[in-house]
Amino acid sequence: MSWLDEINWNADGLVPAIAQDHRTGRILMMAWMNREALALTVEQQRAIYWSRSRGKLWRKGEESGHVQRLHELRLDCDADVVVLLVEQIGGIACHTGRESCFYRVYENGGWKTVEPVLKDPKAIYAEHSHE
């Protein structure tokens, strides 16, 4: 049996994947992986997700340059969530130009943005659009 067969894929053949900074433990983002994405992530030692909106593999950093190098892959007790301990190249995981996608805090009945944009997204994606 393949290690991939031990994962409890959802009805769409996907598993939630949480990217966490391997040094600080900070949760950077959550995305989805299909079987191919997870196999390629391990093979290439870099995060490759499945883009549900685009219906194709999404090699993290292919447009932004913000690649996630894989340090360790973990599977939870129910075998239905994976955690990728990664080195986030450029220190930015979020397409908004922030370190983490989790930059809003619930406060007084609403969501408050508590983290700064480290780099303007227009600048991030313009730099790499020629690739």
pLDDT at 131 over 80: no
pTM of the model: 0.92
**Residues in a beta bridge with 49:** 58
Per residue in 69-115, pLDDT (tens digit) is: 999 999 999 999 999 999 999 999 999 999 999 999 999 999 999 99
**Residues in a beta bridge with 107:** 110
Per residue in 5-61, pLDDT (tens digit) is: 999 999 999 999 999 999 999 999 999 999 999 999 999 999 999 999 999 999 999
CATH superfamily of 3-127: Phosphoribosyl-AMP cyclohydrolase (3.10.20.810)
Model confidence at 117, pLDDT cuts 50, 70, 90, reads very high
Nearest to 41 by CA among 66, 64, 10, 73: 73
Own/partner long-range contacts of 53-61 (Cβ < 8 Å, ≥24 apart): 58/31, 60/19, 60/31, 61/89
